[in-house]
């Protein structure tokens, strides 16, 4: 039984790496990689190491949220820019990737240049997500990038600006280890909570202002 589980694990890993390389080839980018860590932990010392998310997971979140021409998408902890590249192939206004590591931010910038058929400009910022002004953002994408303290700081900043400017906001959080931080925020409403066949969970939140405007609540 243990041997069988190990074999299945290896098979799943193999399928994942093929998916990763094939997706990169299709997009003309190079974002596949094993776990990588440069040494920076961020202001709150709680950065997680770089790890890629599958192309399929990103595309599913895009299908579910359907970003449009007025959307400005922020990918917090963008790594090599895979998710930023996928969003830039949608008809959105702009995509901003925020990454703590200089070397990963450089790779993300290079991927933004080679990306096949982008529809939106991509800006990559090398910065700590707690220090970035996300006021123009209407979609925020995260793949378990950092710990609870940074998550609370980021959400606090986003709440302040979004309550002031009353813009619609969608937050996509893949592998949501600190989902409770968002569940506690009364100005947000969870609109999706699903698991892929791989077991990976994703939660999607919208601000109540947007829900009342679109008649979804």
Ligand X SMILES: C[S@@+](CC[C@H](N)C(=O)[O-])C[C@H]1O[C@@H](n2cnc3c(N)ncnc32)[C@H](O)[C@@H]1O
145 or 210: CB nearest ligand X: 145
Q: Judged by CB under 6 A, which of 74, 87, 146, 182 binds ligand X?
A: 146
Single out the segment in contact with ligand X by CB under 6 A; choices: 15-23, 48-56, 160-168, 181-189: 48-56
Q: Judged by CB under 6 A, which of 90, 129, 181, 204 binds ligand X?
A: 129
205 membership: H or E segment, kind and range = strand 201-207
Phi first, then psi: what are they for 92, rounded to 5°? -110, 170
What radius of gyration do the chain's Cα atoms show? 17
Give the count of alpha carbons within 13 A of 52, CB side only: 24
118 or 210: CB nearest ligand X: 118
Helices vs. strands in the chain: H and E counts, helices first? 7, 7
Min dist CB 61 to ligand X, Å, is 11
Closest CA to 44 of 180, 185, 133, 151: 151
- 6 in helix, strand or coil? helix
Residues present in the chain in total: 217
Give the Å distances, CA to CA, from 64 to 20, 96, 172: 21, 20, 10
Q: Judged by CB under 6 A, which of 128, 138, 170, 207 binds ligand X?
A: 128
By the rule CB under 6 A, 27 interacts with ligand X: no
Applying the rule CB under 6 A, the residues between 156 and 195 that interact with ligand X are none
By the rule CB under 6 A, 145 interacts with ligand X: yes
Single out the segment in contact with ligand X by CB under 6 A; choices: 3-11, 142-150, 177-185, 197-205: 142-150
Applying the rule CB under 6 A, the residues between 61 and 100 that interact with ligand X are 77-80, 82-83, 98-100
Min dist CB 209 to ligand X, Å, is 26
Give the Å distances, CA to CA, from 133 to 64, 125, 144, 154, 163: 26, 11, 20, 9, 14
Total residues in contact with ligand X, by rule CB under 6 A: 26
Min dist CB 140 to ligand X, Å, is 12
Q: Which residues bind ligand X (CB under 6 A)?
A: 31, 42, 47-48, 50-53, 77-80, 82-83, 98-101, 104, 128-129, 143-146, 150
């Amino acid at each position: 039984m243990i041997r069988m589980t190990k074999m299945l694990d290896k098979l799943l890993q193999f399928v994942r790496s093929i998916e990763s390389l094939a997706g990169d080839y299709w997009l003309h980018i190079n974002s596949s990689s094993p776990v990588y860590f440069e040494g920076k932990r961020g202001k709150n010392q709680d950065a997680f190491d770089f790890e890629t998310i599958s192309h399929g997971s990103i595309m599913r979140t895009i299908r579910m949220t359907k970003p449009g021409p007025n959307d400005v998408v922020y990918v917090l902890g963008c790594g090599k820019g895979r998710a930023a590249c996928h969003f830039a192939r949608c008809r959105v206004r702009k995509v901003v990737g925020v990454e703590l590591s200089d070397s990963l931010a450089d790779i993300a910038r290079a991927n933004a240049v080679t990306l096949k058929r982008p529809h939106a400009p991509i800006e990559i910022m090398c910065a700590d997500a707690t220090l970035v002004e996300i006021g123009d953002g209407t979609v925020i994408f995260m793949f378990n990038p950092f710990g609870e303290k940074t998550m609370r700081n980021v959400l606090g900043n986003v709440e302040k600006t979004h309550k002031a400017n009353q813009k619609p906001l969608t937050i996509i959080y893949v592998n949501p280890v600190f989902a409770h931080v968002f569940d506690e925020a009364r100005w947000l409403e969870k609109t999706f909570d699903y698991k892929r066949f791989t077991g990976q969970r994703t939660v999607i939140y919208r601000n109540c202002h947007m829900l009342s405007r679109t008649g979804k609540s």
